Amino acid sequence: MTYPWREAPEGTFAVIGDPVHHSLSPKMHSAAYATLGLPYTYYGIHVPTGEVGEALERLSSLGYQGINVTVPHKEEALNWADVVEPMAARVRAANTLRLKDRACINTDAPGFLDTLGEFHPTEKKVLLVGAGGSARALIVALLSDGYSIKLTNRTLEKAHSLAEELGSNQLSVSESADPDGCALILNTTSASLNKEELPIQWDRAMPGALAYDLMYARPTTPFLAKAFSLGLATMDGLPLLVAQGARSFEWWLGIEAPRTAMREALQ
């Protein structure tokens, strides 16, 4: 169920965004509550840019306890919060809010590392494509986990500014999307949303490399289709959706999230 924020009903949890109708979070969290017999609701709430603070006040007065935040409000949400965990501050984005004490965390970055749990590369080296907000969160996560990163982007200048801002000798900018020596090839761009291909030099990919697209699409994205046709391992954005959602659930409720039910709800 999706509502404009001024028409939101009473409830307990929600995701805010603009747009928000495509979000799979309501389905996933509602399945988690149903599985555990919890009397909670989770709605999609449409909030235009510039109205985040006002909308959160309203949702708080309607009884909401926790809010997930999706694009483009993660930075506005961070600025709204009084209590900011270090990871959210570093990533400059909050995707999970607790309304009663205006606290926020970022579950995208640690959730992303959760999804790499079974991945044991011989060398922790990544080709990361894109230089937006998602790229920043994943770079922070990957650096904290000891990866070295080759960053490339359509607008190279943006890759340079991001690298400068994050300032790490494990992070370099590359003009070409050359995956040579990289165990992980990570697409953080929205190119897959428009079914557009990226200029990746696939012929230079290592056998056994993992191609990871933050987007998901049925049956697949052009990035993952290409990687799969070359025999590479592939992962789309659904495991990350579950991982970040489960971490939000656990932070709000203090009980283990039913990850299997959450994943099944998305299939």
Give the residue numbers marked as catalytic.
Answer: 74
Candidates 36-44, 75-83, 106-114, 190-198; binding stretch for ligand ATR (CB under 6 A): 190-198
153 binds ligand ATR (CB under 6 A): yes
Give me the phi and psi of 55, to 5 degrees please. -65, -40
36 or 71, CB closer to ligand ATR?
71
* Sheet of strand 233-235, all strands in order from the earlier edge strand to the far edge: 171-173, 148-152, 125-129, 184-187, 210-213, 233-235
| CB closer to ligand ATR out of 31 and 131 | 131
What's the rounded Cα separation, in Å, for the pair 265 and 166?
Answer: 36
* Among the residue ranges 59-67, 183-191, 233-241, 252-260, the one whose residues contact ligand ATR (CB under 6 A): 183-191
β-bridge partners, 104: 84, 97
| Among 131-139, 218-226, 228-236, 242-250, the segment contacting ligand ATR (CB under 6 A) | 131-139
- Total interface residues for ligand ATR by CB under 6 A: 17
Question: Is-contact 91 140, C-beta < 8 A?
Answer: yes
190 contacts ligand ATR (rule: CB under 6 A): yes
Q: Is 158 helix (H, G, I), strand (E, B) or coil?
A: helix
198 is a contact residue toward ligand ATR (CB under 6 A):
yes
Q: In the 8-state DSSP scheme, what is residue 146? A: T
Number of Cβ within a 10 Å radius of residue 124: 18
Among 12, 23, 96, 134, binds ligand ATR (CB under 6 A): 134
SS3 173: strand
Among 15, 55, 131, 177, binds ligand ATR (CB under 6 A): 131
Q: Which residues in this chain contact ligand ATR in the complex, by CB under 6 A? A: 71, 130-135, 153-155, 158, 188-191, 196, 198
